[in-house]
Chains A and B, each alone.
Chain A
């Protein structure tokens, strides 16, 4: 059972533990605490082989078959995106999905374990009176156990939404983590000839333009509740801070003299940090969501930029040139203490605090160019995660399992995604112009629908 999910060295130990667990949890179909399949804090995760046959067309109609094929594609792509799974080739399956049973009682699990599948997702499609019914089940093929099963009803055009929801359940039951499937990404693209903010789904789908300033627009930042995006724009001729509601046409502008830039929302609050230079010196301030100054957070003659908050909102990492080169510092907002985090090299910028709280990713320049690196919040063990092209603007997925960044590794600047340990680096999307500055949102919930 659990042996199949770990490497050889752990096998015996896991096997013993596995028996204990299965004894402890007999006949519990939806055991809540079964998060031990995938430990996302492990850097060298073995990908779990999963089989996702084409969904079964229950009545065998053409629309059901079509939906079943499309659905299996979307589900496969979605789960593959996480980096946790290796998708088995459907052509090698021993089972005809249109004839086989899709429930626990009817499945011959041996057919799947022989193919190498450790997990299996089956689904049945019914389309009746223009309403889509989808039954989906995730099985552990070695334990011959259903991990989660769900039934969904919706409009046929809601197929992707339904499948993303089940993918979310799948990842939740395997990792204990809600996953990223209803998160969005904001980024900058030059497609119109101007830098504008665009939004898309977690996987680069459903791209839409968000700002239309016909100017230079930069540095999008999501509020925790995903209702607001703050950003910098030159729409009024100089870099001002815009705090804009995502859905409604309302917002606030901070347009003091000088820079009004680099917003970072305080987790769980309608407050944000930003660099303002109206005093003649660049300092980071804490602002209300309406753009009013609550207090000054830095006090230093040199450059202070790029704030990022710890998940509890008590500490802020930022970039300062106070020691003569850009380095990353952490300020404890309660007691005011500041300590320097980076000591390697003379150019460390763009910190992003992990939503899990323990890591900071940042961009670091040396002779080979700009690369994404990661360190502990105590500055320990910096590791370089990228090695090709110029790489900048790291941003964590809301569950801390993945990192977005921009890179010139294929020529023009594009947005890429990798696991939190630098694995599976790939381009997120392909659009005209250049893309930069990606920022991952929290789960958007239902207010986006």
Chain B
């Protein structure tokens, strides 16, 4: 039962993401002049949920879970497996490099295939760096890595409008140790389904 709920939860997330992918895309102003004003400085929206709100939220999720469980199909299960395959698989880069290696190309081909089979899905490509460099430069380098992966996928025929990029620079290491092995793991692009 526990396993079933867990699986159901994953699939729920998947379905939810697929449903939201089509409509939640951020609108970008054509002249690039997206300038907000004061609102985000109002810290009210950052307050934590009260215990009652948390509980209510949790209840709501659980109830929905049971309903969605009944609607699982084999096809959705297959998609979830495929998704799992490359969502856990990153592509890696050399030091101070944003060049797509042959190994990375293999992974990107799988990603492209998945995106072709699921035309309603869009994806965020995260660019990351090891922490040996300096923070500013790494934030820029991380973006180059994400953009390099995006360019490769676009060359494979995927529309750029389905591919968002974000750089985390050295802020989100996969392995926090300071070893060659850890650094190599951290110089990566990571794929997240939206």
Q: List residues of chain A with CB under 8 Å of any chain B CB.
A: 195, 212-214, 216, 218-219, 232, 235-239, 242, 244, 249-259, 261-262, 275, 277-280, 282, 290-293, 303-306, 319, 325-326, 346-347, 349-350, 363, 365, 369-370, 390, 392-393, 436-437
Q: Which range contains the number of B residues in contact with the other chain?
A: 20 to 34
> Per a CB cutoff under 8 Å, which of A195, A277, A346 touches B171?
A195
Is B149 at the interface (CB under 8 A from chain A)?
no
When distances are taken between beta carbons in the complex, the residues of chain B under 8 Å from A365 are: 132-134
1/0 contact string of B119-135 vs chain A (CB within 8 Å):
00000000000001111
Instruction: Report which of B35, B41, B171 forms a contact with A292, defined as CB distance below 8 A.
Output: B35
A-B contact pairs, 28 of them (CB 8 A): A212-B43, A212-B46, A216-B171, A218-B171, A235-B46, A239-B139, A253-B35, A253-B37, A254-B35, A256-B32, A259-B139, A259-B143, A261-B140, A275-B140, A280-B147, A282-B140, A290-B35, A303-B140, A304-B140, A305-B136, A305-B140, A306-B136, A326-B133, A346-B96, A349-B136, A369-B132, A370-B134, A393-B135
Chain B residues closer than 8 Å to A293, beta-carbon distance: 33
Do most interface residues of chain B lie in helix, strand or loop, or is the interface mixed? Answer: mixed
Say yes or no: A252-B36 contact (C-beta < 8 A), given A238-B166, A392-B135. yes
A306–B40 alpha-carbon span in the complex (Å): 25
Tell me whether A305 and B135 are in contact (CB under 8 A). Answer: no
Contact present for B96 and A292 (CB under 8 Å): no
Contact of A236 among B40, B132, B133 (CB under 8 A): B40
Is the C-beta of B167 less than 8 angstroms from some C-beta in chain A?
yes
**Chain A residues, CB < 8 A from B140:** 259, 261, 275, 282, 303-305
Question: Smallest CB–CB gap between B149 and chain A, Å?
Answer: 14
Instruction: Tell me whether B133 and A349 are in contact (CB under 8 A).
Output: yes
Nearest CB in chain A to that of B166: its residue: A238
Please state if B134 and A349 are interface contacts (CB–CB under 8 Å): yes
Contact of A214 among B46, B134, B137 (CB under 8 A): B46
Across the two chains, which residue of chain A brings its CB closest to B43?
A: A212
What 7 additional pairs, Cβ within 8 angstroms, besides A258-B143, A277-B143, A370-B134? Answer: A218-B139, A239-B139, A255-B34, A305-B139, A349-B136, A350-B134, A437-B135
What distance in Å separates the Cβ of A307 from its nearest Cβ neighbour in chain B? Answer: 10
Query: Contacts A195-B171, A325-B96, A370-B134 given: A256-B139 contact, CB under 8 Å?
Result: no
Which residues 3-37 in B have Cβ within 8 Å of A in the complex? Answer: 28, 32-37
CB distance from A391 to the nearest CB of B (A): 10
In the complex, whether B60 has a CB less than 8 A from a CB of chain A is: no
Closest to B45 in A: A235
Smallest Cβ distance from A278 to chain B, in angstroms? 5
CB nearest neighbor in A for B146: A258
B133 contacts across to A, CB distance below 8 A: 326, 347, 349, 365, 370
* Inter-subunit contact A253/B143 (CB<8 Å): no
Residue B141 interfacial (CB < 8 Å): yes
Answer whether residue B165 sits at the interface, using C-beta atoms and an 8 A cutoff.
yes
CB neighbours (8 Å) of B136 from chain A are 219, 261-262, 305-306, 319, 349-350
Does B40 lie within 8 Å of A253, measured CB to CB?
A: yes
Closest to B172 in A: A216
Q: How far is the CA of A388 from the CA of B28 in the complex (A)?
A: 46
- Contacting pair B96 A256 (CB below 8 A): no
Chain A residues with CB below 8 A from B165, complex form: 258
In angstroms, Cα B132 to Cα A216, docked, is 19
